[in-house]
Amino acid sequence: MTERGPGGRTDHLDHLQNDVSEVTSLLRQNVEKVIVRGDKIDDLQERSEDLESGSINFKKTSVRLKKKMCWQNCKMNCIIAIVAAVIVIIIVIIIVVEVKPGGSGGGGHHNSTLNKCFNC
């Protein structure tokens, strides 16, 4: 800047032009980075929306499955209870038939002996 001649001005203008070109280049790079960042943010937004809808569907499905499994468990418990009740009823019927007084089962002989003892 100390030189006032035509060559000094040209060097100074060249230097300023280089600075402007450098700043312009940096600004373009920054703008490109901002655009790329915006695209990445948009992608993340889409992914988060997809995850949210997926989680809502998962919750609905899991609640439905829980209800289904609960009913299936209830049905199985009822079936087991009915089978156990039938077995108990069969056992009770067998015991009643075998011990029935005056019956034609194996217990009839013991009953007649007892009757003789009580008549004495």
Hey, what are 1's tokens? Answer: 């800047």
Report pLDDT for 20.
Answer: 94
In angstroms, the CA 53 to CA 61 distance is: 12
Report pLDDT for 55.
Answer: 97
In this structure, which long-range contacts are made by residues 26-29, counting pairs with CB atoms below 8 Å and at least 24 apart in sequence? Answer: none
Report pLDDT for 10.
Answer: 86
Q: What is the pTM of this model?
A: 0.48
Report pLDDT for 49.
Answer: 95
What does the pLDDT profile of the chain (120 residues) look like in tens digits?
A: 444 455 668 888 999 999 999 999 999 999 999 999 999 999 999 999 999 999 999 999 999 999 999 999 999 999 999 999 999 999 999 999 998 766 554 444 555 554 554 554
In angstroms, the CA 53 to CA 47 distance is: 10
In angstroms, the CA 21 to CA 48 distance is: 40
